[in-house]
Chain A
Amino acid sequence: MPIQVTNLTHTYSAGSALQSTALHDVSLSIEDGEFVCIVGHTGSGKSTLVQHLNGLLKPTSGRILVDGEDMNGDKVDKKRIRQKVGLVFQYPEYQLFEETVARDIAFGPKNQGLSAEEIDRRVRAAMAHVHLDYDKYAERSPFELSGGQMRRVAIAGVLAMEPRYLILDEPTAGLDPKGRDRILGMIQELHREGRTTVVMVSHSMDDCARLATRMIVMSKGTVLMSDTPRAVFAQADAMREAGLGVPAAAQLCEKLRARGLDLPHDLYTQEELHAHLLRLWKEAAHA
């Protein structure tokens, strides 16, 4: 099991007046090759969870195994494990600091202690992944770029470390539809073509519906559901209770079923609904 979280509890400011438990006895696993979407209302513990996957936070209790090694074990080289798990924070463009795009992307590989040639190869590869032309952008200052481009540079900075597991915390926050589609397209490519396992925290049910092979629904510091998007979106009531919604297609399906239309209970994509409504209409026309 590539990433395994067992009985993870995390309490902030333990023992003080501000004590709050962000995660409560969470167990889950991430398999190789998955595209996992983590969803949850603000304060549900998603961000706390992903920071544990990278070893940035220490569990109050519980364990995180990455490829069988305990992330917080005594004899474990945390830095080495961290390299396997790339973490892209929310608004990652705010972490850029170097004079040129290439040097910023090289920061991670440099910290890994790689050779100059290897670093250069990785910077070029990472820039190709995020669709930034090396010759055009490598020597430019990251601060001259547009917001969307800056974000791609920041993501490239994590990709250049060639993590096996890529975790992204709301990678599309604050972007317009064009920027959003670009970033999501990129992530999807990475997942499809490479061996990268993706874990993405998202607020958009539509994005999850489109991309995820599995969804983890968090609520009040616990895992509420962990299943395929189809199974998750079929539980519209439970999702609403967790302060979340379901994609528009799933809402329509639910409302039409309530009106007595003969539709399967677990439709959630526009294409499926399109096919079924057309089928019903043709049946009605025949009758």
Chain B
Amino acid sequence: MMKNITLGQYYPVDSWVHRLDPRMKIVLTIALIVGVFMVSSFVGYALVLAFVYLAARMAKIPFRMLVRGVKALRFILILTFLLNLFFNAGTTMLLEWGILKISLEGLDQAIHYSLRLVFLVMGTSLMTLTTSPIALSDGIERLLSPLKVIRFPAHELAMMMSIALRFIPTLMEEADKIMKAQMARGADFESGNIIARAKAMVPLLVPLFVSAFRRAGDLAMAMESRCYHGGENRTRLRVLKITRNDWIAAGVTAALIALIVLEGRFVPDLVTLVQGWLPAEQTASLFFTKGLKL
């Protein structure tokens, strides 16, 4: 299951989207999410879907990978859908069963929120899949650097992130080794109830923490000896450059958002649409409500 989560994973191929500036990708992803939240009709979602699908194609990322990423979060999705479905005080009732009431507005909101979540996951997955973690931390650092004026530690944050990335494989390997060493001493990580298992983790976690601290101390010394003195007065090997392609990507995204705004104006949303079909006196209870009223 863990390996199906696409959020935060990097898919290392070379593509037009991969080569975009990480800053632009971050900004455009945020713009896309804002756009998704402005969608009011299915036409809008279809536009977003088309956009995401095309972007995935251009990024050489199999679309089913994005779908799998959404699937991995299906429980959250279902929960979101149900919560909105049942706990929304609408006026157009579709179904009533004891305290459970489903209204047209609730259904509408449930669909909206679920789809927004789907596209939020797809959009951000698309960004992380096409942007190496290190480029991402670079992008974040530079986007946040204007905040240095108010003492926001943008450089430190990015440095922390990149060191974490550097040491994840090392610590994983170490965890495996310690686990084996404790198993050789008869430790059992697999059986017992939740409390027994949590307790069994102590012989793994303590050495891992001790080691992480030792490594941190060593690394700090090594960094200092290589003249590290924080983010001030520093040049960078990785230079970020906004190219023509970045502006093209920005233009396409802007066009998408413009279309979303337009469809909000001209295409009626679900509630209005359904209510439009109904005779005026029926707005309080819908076609099959009577038969289904339990």
Contacts and interface: CB of A to CB of B under 8 A. Distances in A.
Give yes or no for direct A-B contact (beta carbon below 8 Å).
yes
Interface in A20-71: 51, 54, 56
B186 A95 contact: no
Given A94-B207, A97-B203, A97-B206, A112 B181 contact: no
Given A51-B180, A89-B177, A95 B207 contact: yes
Contact of B178 (A79, A82, A95): A95
A96 interface: yes
Interface in A98-146: 107-108, 111-112, 143
Contacts of A108: 185-186
A69 B202 CA distance: 32
A92 interface: yes
Contacts of A83: 186
A92 B206 contact: no
A158 interface: yes
B207 A111 contact: no
A195 B11 CA distance: 55
Interface of A is mostly: helix
A111 B187 contact: yes
A92 B180 CA distance: 11
A80 B137 CA distance: 49
Interface residues of B, number: 18
B168 to A, nearest CB: 17
B45 to A, nearest CB: 37
A218 interface: no
B211 interface: yes
Contacts of A143: 210
Interface in A73-88: 79, 82-83, 86-87
A95 B210 CA distance: 10
B211 A94 contact: yes
A201 to B, nearest CB: 14
A157 B174 CA distance: 19
Main secondary structure of the interface of B (DSSP, over half): helix
Given A89-B177, A94-B211, A95-B178, A82 B203 contact: no
Given A95-B178, A143-B210, A86 B184 contact: yes
Nearest to B206: A97
A44 B10 CA distance: 33
Contacts of B184: 54, 56, 82, 86-87, 89, 158
B180 A157 contact: no
Given A89-B177, A89-B180, A97-B203, A111 B211 contact: no
A115 B203 CA distance: 21
Contacts of A86: 184
A183 interface: no
Given A94-B207, A97-B206, A97-B207, A111 B181 contact: no
Nearest to B188: A111
A56 B183 contact: yes
B181 A92 contact: yes
A161 interface: yes
A87 B177 CA distance: 12
Interface of B: 174, 177-178, 180-188, 202-203, 206-207, 210-211
A-B pairs, top 9 by smallest CB distance, nearest first, are A111-B186, A97-B206, A108-B185, A95-B181, A87-B184, A89-B181, A97-B203, A56-B180, A97-B207
Given A94-B177, A107-B203, 16 more contacts: A56-B180, A56-B184, A79-B188, A82-B184, A83-B186, A94-B174, A94-B178, A95-B181, A95-B185, A95-B203, A96-B207, A96-B210, A107-B182, A107-B187, A108-B186, A157-B185
17 contacts: A56-B183, A79-B186, A82-B184, A94-B174, A94-B181, A94-B207, A94-B210, A94-B211, A95-B203, A107-B203, A108-B185, A108-B186, A111-B185, A111-B187, A143-B210, A158-B184, A158-B185
